[in-house]
Structure 1
Amino acid sequence: MPNDLPTDPIASQLKQIRDRIAEACLRANRAPGSVTLVAVSKTHPGAAVEAALACGQMVFGENRVQEAEGKFPALRPAWPALRLHLIGALQTNKAREAVRVADVIESLDRPKLAVALRDAMAREGRQPRLLVQVNTGDEPQKAGIARAEADDFIRACREEHGLPVTGLMCIPPAEADPRPHFALLAGMAARHGLAVLSMGMSGDFEAAIAEGATHIRVGTAIFGGRPAPA
């Protein structure tokens, strides 16, 4: 691996996050292994992903399909345990590319996208796991199915479209106490028998773990701030 890769900062920051996850799990009487860290590598180069892989981090998150396509297929042969989560809003016309590149798509949030993903999976012969994104704050500017529509939408995705929905995802309002939003999502997942809860980011993942998160999405605290545009 070239000497100019940011191995040391990323290794140190990964260790800090893993230690904080372990401590949060202990406080919540949970096993540290019950929480998966999704390292959000959006806008960071493939070299940063390689540095994290060298530290044993195998699960990554990307917002944009095009960026994911540019980084991850080339890494998979050397790192077969690598898993990629798409966590950003997904356009229906990118469904087929998303199905090709991702292992998990966390942003299923509307009927048209459910149909597009169903059709893309049939064409590609590949079934990434899906999470329904719930707009727990009912924020008009934010992606995610509205709370009032979420239960029916989850049922339709699974029963009408036969989609492999395994859990739920949310991003609480920025200025709100996240705990009620995490609790709401956990209750909804329990009603539907869904095991995966993707909730919590760099600033609030300890609270998410206390409310039952199985996956947390951490970017800045691992990779640093977003690189400046060229």
Structure 2
Amino acid sequence: MSQAAQNCSRSPSEISLLAVSKTKPISDIIAAYQAGQRRFGENYVQEGETKITALADDYPDIEWHFIGPLQSNKTKIVAEHFDWMHTVSRDKIAQRLNDQRPTNKPPLNVCIQVNISQEDSKSGVNVNDAATLAGVISQLPNLKLRGLMAIPTATDDIRIQQQEFASLKSLYDQLQQQHPSIDTLSMGMSGDLDIAIANGSTMVRIGSAIFGER
């Protein structure tokens, strides 16, 4: 990450590492924590809840991010246990997270998932609808709009990666002018973090490069 930042004349301090710990045992999370890692991402609601509950007493400073698809009947678990939610793409989900966020917790940090590749199989809001959803989220008192997240096309074609990351960065810059709370561009994974960082990512989601393949 530091090398990638230096290659594009950015400060490494501008980019956060989110360790994607889905399907990994709690012992792996503890090992990463002892190495200095504090932000962890989970894709599955029940698995994430189990890990958060198990580690809450001994590791209260872990920051938990939900980065997977979320069904409306499971929003309560995310609202009650997680610190961040990266995959909001519908008004209904945003409203439920807001209504179910406990009053003794700070607002849930939220990123809008954008379907930047425009693939039918991908979750996320259409680029043209992101501003409307951002407006809805910004009015919900128990949510804090933090930025955008995307999963690009699974390809080794650097031109496609570049185009999609640049498109998301452009949208991010536009929305940031309207919503000062926006400060997070969640894009880039183990295989494409260099190009993501070159295109302005502020948070990379890394799983296999830290924990090994599933």
Same fold, judged at TM 0.5 (above):
yes
Q: 1:183 aligns with which of 153, 166, 183?
A: 166
Counterparts of 1:221 and 1:125 in 2: how far apart (Å)? 32
Matches within 5 A, 1:32-43: 32-43=12-23
Contact 1:41 1:219 in 2 (8 A): yes
Unaligned runs of 5+ in 1: 1-20
CA distance change for structure 1 residues 102 and 224 in 2, over 3 Å: closer, same or farther?
same
CA distance change for structure 1 residues 82 and 145 in 2, over 3 Å: closer, same or farther?
same
Counterparts of 1:143 and 1:124 in 2: how far apart (Å)? 31
Matches within 5 A, 1:1-230: 21-121=1-101, 125-159=105-139, 161-162=140-141, 163-175=143-155, 177-193=160-176, 194-226=182-214
Per the TM alignment, residue 105 of structure 1 is displaced from its structure 2 partner at its CA by 0.4
Residue aligning to 1:12: none
Residue deviations 1:32-91, cap 9 Å, x none? 111111010100111111111111111110001100111122213222321111000111
Per the TM alignment, residue 125 of structure 1 is displaced from its structure 2 partner at its CA by 4.9
Percent of aligned pairs sharing the same letter = 37
Counterparts of 2:75 and 2:92 in 1: how far apart (Å)? 11
- Which amino acid is 1:223 matched to? F
Counterparts of 2:145 and 2:167 in 1: how far apart (Å)? 18
- Which amino acid is 1:192 matched to? L
Contact 1:96 1:124 in 2 (8 A): no
Per the TM alignment, residue 206 of structure 1 is displaced from its structure 2 partner at its CA by 0.8
- Range that drifts further, 130-139 or 71-80: 71-80
Unaligned runs of 5+ in 2: 177-181
Per the TM alignment, residue 123 of structure 1 is displaced from its structure 2 partner at its CA by 6.2
**Equivalent residue of 1:29, what SS?**
coil
Counterparts of 2:114 and 2:170 in 1: how far apart (Å)? 12
Q: Number of residue pairs matched?
A: 205
Per the TM alignment, residue 156 of structure 1 is displaced from its structure 2 partner at its CA by 2.0
Contact 1:61 1:84 in 2 (8 A): yes
Per the TM alignment, residue 167 of structure 1 is displaced from its structure 2 partner at its CA by 0.5
Counterparts of 2:46 and 2:102 in 1: how far apart (Å)? 21
Q: Could you tell me the TM-score, scaled by structure 1's length? A: 0.84
Counterparts of 2:51 and 2:203 in 1: how far apart (Å)? 22
Counterparts of 1:155 and 1:148 in 2: how far apart (Å)? 13
Contact 1:131 1:167 in 2 (8 A): yes
**Equivalent residue of 2:55, what SS?**
coil
Counterparts of 2:161 and 2:149 in 1: how far apart (Å)? 13
